[in-house]
Amino acid sequence: MRLNGLKNIKSEINASAIEVYSNKRILIFDCKSIIDYSPECMVIDLGGLRLKITGEALMVESFVFEQTDIRGKIYGLEFV
């Protein structure tokens, strides 16, 4: 399959992925934007889905090339 074909497939599905490392770190791939941001709650736009993260001392460590690294004490994840 050609690379051009792979790009077309990716655009037809939601290719977001989330990696959780204990309750201290979350890596989010294919993040479109951060809708809401506070030390206790963040809402992330995944392009069709929204992820709500609740916790304590939450902060965005990096947001590069649609990859977001969030650190802090994470209490919960919820799709809203």
User: Average pLDDT per run of 10 along the chain, which is 80 residues long?
Assistant: 48 73 94 94 92 97 92 95
Half-sphere exposure (Cβ direction) of 32: Cα atoms closer than 13 Å: 12
CA 43/CA 49 separation, integer angstroms: 10
Q: What domains are defined for the chain?
A: 16-79 (2.60.40.2000)
pTM, two decimal places: 0.79
CA 71/CA 48 separation, integer angstroms: 24
Stated as kind and residue range, the H or E segment containing 10 is helix 3-12
